[in-house]
Amino acid sequence: MSKDQELRKSAYEEIEKHQSLVESDPYRLHYHIMPPVGLLNDPNGFIQFQGTYHLFYQWMPYKTDHGAKLWGHYSSEDLVHWTHEEIALTPSEWFEKNGCYSGSAIEHDGKLYAFYTGNVKDENGNRESYQCLAVSEDGIHFDKKGPIAHLPDGYTAHFRDPKVWKQNGRWFMVIGAQTEDEKGAVALFTSENLMDWTHAGILAGAGQEPLGEFGYMFECPDLFELDGRDVLVFSPQGLEADGMNYQNVYQAGYVTGTFDPEEGTYEHGAFTELDHGFDFYAPQTTVDAHGRRLMFGWMSVPDQNEQDHPTIAHKWLHNMTLPRELTWQDGQMHQQPVQELEALRQGDAVDHQVRLNKESRTLDGVDGKAVELMMSDIDIQQGWFGVSFGSNARILYSKEQQVLTLERQSYVDGTVEKRQVEVPQLKSLRVYVDTSSIEVFANEGTHVMTARFYPAPNDESICFESSDETSFHICKWELTQVIE
């Protein structure tokens, strides 16, 4: 049996062996992409190819920890119902033996081209990285072409996560990098034929202005045009917490500016975090046939108490966020759950016009563990307004401070921890709860907060509270289970 066949066989055996344990987990998700067994991390190769959406993912099927990753694969016609496909890539060759790491996909000549990083550790534990290509006719089966871009001088072997696009008749690739003096950077490559790639310099970071000192490594870069500006998304490591910013171990965010494809240069501004919750990292975008810029993120952060998640007892760990559509309106980025997710709603909405007066209460029919809440026309007279989910997560908005807070009970030690972001005026809140995940979209997605949380399995209560007088309109939908 070849190495590839062996790795596939044992991954499928792991699914077989642990499927019922995974399925019996009360924290198993109903409508978020999660691994059939083992650990899932970054979204990879997100593309709409021949009409079908494909989302590959970093997958460690053999344990709930990191290691020599495979590319797992889900496909969907509608971004709602997902089919788990055959394994796309296994780390079976010398140039990827310690993992087929993150990368992206493009369509060219009717084929799907997947670019990824071959991660290699030699006998002494030294790292090597190879940017590799695998080509597929059907989006399912891949033919590996091996390394196509080499590590230029001036960088360490922390060089990974190629994202490829075409512009002005040329191919471009951004790569997450670390310079020799240990600064995070985004490297740019160009190609005429997708096989031979030339280093075209550093696009951002490396200690240069305007970011200046900005961490020791940038992972998962992604450069794209959004409503007239060029957005560079990346995940920097090594930033110090700064007030409400950079509270997680590592961050994920973006800068905006102008990319010059002729010169290979990028003028850009300051960094903004994409998500102000606890669990969001390594996002990746694609543009679909409707021209929408869509994004998935990994709903976790590397090295952030990963081994303390209770789902490990059920042999799985981590999941994706919901797919979000990115737009730019009124001078800021908006992230909204894709419209297709309305198909998750079962039956009619429960709706209420609510006025709270210095009280805390539940609302008829507004509870559940897989739900969508849409609160609009929020009017807070003074003080604060809050929504709590069981006794384990709470959203709070302070009118005086103009701060939105997401609290949760820590799954490590049970203490209450919080993340915060300034929101000038809270007008609407859209919340998706899925057993152990919560995603909060404030003001049509100008501010987003995402987290895993672990309420007692039968605690499905949702409670609304206000320190003074608050009114709002609420619709609540029960959501169906689509992840089988």
Residue 102 binds ligand FRU, judged by CB under 6 A: yes
**Judged by CB, which is closer to ligand FRU: 41, or 319?**
41
Q: Give the count of beta carbons closer than 10 Å to the beta carbon of residue 403.
A: 16
Cα(436)–Cα(448) distance, integer angstroms: 17
Could you say whether residue 131 binds ligand FRU (CB under 6 A)?
Answer: no
Q: Considering the complex, what minimum distance in angstroms separates the CB of residue 13 from ligand FRU?
A: 22
Using rule CB under 6 A, residue 237 touches ligand FRU: no
DSSP string of 210-270, one letter each residue: TT-S--SEEEEEEEEEETTEEEEEEEEE-PPPBTTBS-SSB--EEEEEEEETTTTEEEE--
Q: How far apart are CA 121 and CA 129, in angstroms?
A: 9
Residue closer to ligand FRU by CB (options 102, 435) is 102
Nearest distance from residue 315's CB to ligand FRU, in Å?
19
117 binds ligand FRU (CB under 6 A): yes
Q: Output the six-digit token pair for 134.
A: 């695998």
42 catalytically annotated: yes
Instruction: Return the residue of 49, 74, 82, 101 that touches ligand FRU, per CB under 6 A.
Output: 101
The single residue among 219, 273, 372, 439 that binds ligand FRU, judged by CB under 6 A, is 219
Coil, strand or helix: which one is 3? helix
- Round to whole Å and give the CA distance between 409 and 416: 5
Q: Which is nearer to ligand FRU, 220 or 255 (CB)?
A: 220
Tell me if 321 contacts ligand FRU by CB under 6 A: no
Question: Which string of x and - marks every residue 266-285 that binds ligand FRU (by CB under 6 A)?
Answer: ---------------xx---
Instruction: Report in angstroms how near the CB of residue 71 gets to ligand FRU at its nearest.
Output: 10
Q: Is the Cβ of residue 279 or residue 372 nearer to ligand FRU in the bound state?
A: 279
Q: Does 247 bind ligand FRU (CB under 6 A)?
A: no
Q: Which uninterrupted H or E stretch holds 33?
A: none
| Count, residues in the chain | 484
Cβ atoms of 299 and 279 closer than 8 Å:
yes
Q: Is 390 left (phi over 0), alpha (psi -120 to 50) or beta?
A: left
User: Site for ligand FRU (CB under 6 A): which residue of 11, 35, 40, 41?
Assistant: 41
Q: Which long-range contacts (CB under 8 A, 24 or more apart) does 346-350 make?
A: 346/477, 346/478, 346/479, 346/480, 347/477, 347/478, 349/374, 349/475, 349/476, 349/477, 350/475, 350/476, 350/477
Structure tokens of 18?
Answer: 């642990």
Q: Name the minimum Å distance from CB 111 to ligand FRU.
A: 23
Question: In terms of CB distance, is 309 or 394 closer to ligand FRU?
Answer: 309
Using the rule CB under 6 A, is 248 a contact of ligand FRU? no
CB of 281 to ligand FRU, least distance (A): 6
Q: Is position 186 an interface residue for ligand FRU (rule: CB under 6 A)?
A: no
Work out how close the CB of 405 gets to ligand FRU at its nearest, in angstroms, rounded to a whole number.
26
User: Binding pattern to ligand FRU, positions 294-313, x when CB under 6 A?
Assistant: --------x-----------
Q: Which of 25, 42, 279, 367 is catalytic?
A: 42
Under the binding rule (CB under 6 A), the answer on residue 42 touching ligand FRU is yes
58 binds ligand FRU (CB under 6 A): yes
User: Judged by CB under 6 A, which of 54, 69, 183, 447 binds ligand FRU?
Assistant: 69
- Shortest distance, position 286 Cβ to ligand FRU, whole Å: 17
User: Which CB, 47 or 220, lies closer to ligand FRU?
Assistant: 220
**What is the closest distance, in whole angstroms, from the C-beta atom of residue 194 to ligand FRU in the complex?**
20
Comparing CB distances to ligand FRU, the nearer of 282 and 371 is 282
Query: Which contacts (CB < 8 Å, 24+ apart) does range 413-418 have?
Result: 417/278
Nearer to ligand FRU, 164 or 373 (CB): 164
Determine the Cα–Cα distance for residues 261 and 167; give it in Å rounded to an integer.
Answer: 7
Pick from 30, 54, 160, 293: which binds ligand FRU (CB under 6 A)?
Answer: 160
Output Rg (C-alpha) for the chain, integer angstroms: 22
**Residues 95-117 as b or e (16 or more Cβ within 10 Å = b):** bbbbbbbbbbbbeeeebbbbbbb
Tokens of 142: 């891949």
**What is the DSSP secondary structure assignment for residue 344, as one 8-state letter?**
G
Residues that bind ligand FRU (CB under 6 A): 41-42, 58, 69, 101-102, 117, 160-161, 176, 219-220, 281-282, 302
- Residues known to be catalytic: 42
